[in-house]
Amino acid sequence: MKWYHYVACFCAGLFLTNTVPHFVHGVSGDFFPSPFAHPPGKGLSSPTINVLWALANLVIGYILLRVGKLSQTNKWSLLAFFAGVVCLSIQLSIVFVDKMH
């Protein structure tokens, strides 16, 4: 595999992780920060916007998984993918800690 396949796997982990909070809040009917809020990432977006943002992240993440050629037999691609998941999970837990305050 080429180096950019690993970058694609890492980015797939980022996008697929970002799918989760937006989708859960959106389908639960909760307002939640998104890049489309005012100010971006701090204001609250409607549940519908969050569902649409989640679905966009899901599609992009899926495409990146295909581009990255993620495979159980290639442990490095799995490591890159899960590194993306870990990085964004920790970052989101810090960014959204004050969402409801």
CA distance 82 to 14: 9
Asked if residue 86 is part of any domain, the answer here is yes
- In tens, the pLDDT along 33-81 reads 999 999 988 899 999 999 999 999 999 999 999 999 999 999 999 999 9
Asked if residue 21 is part of any domain, the answer here is yes
Asked if residue 84 is part of any domain, the answer here is yes
Asked if residue 100 is part of any domain, the answer here is no
Which residues pair with residue 8 across a beta bridge?
A: none
| Tokens 């204001």 sit on residue | 43
State the total domains in the chain. 1
Asked if residue 38 is part of any domain, the answer here is yes
How many CB atoms within 10 Å of residue 15? 20
Domain holding 65, by residue range, is 3-95
Asked if residue 79 is part of any domain, the answer here is yes
Q: Does the structure show a pLDDT above 70 at 99?
A: no
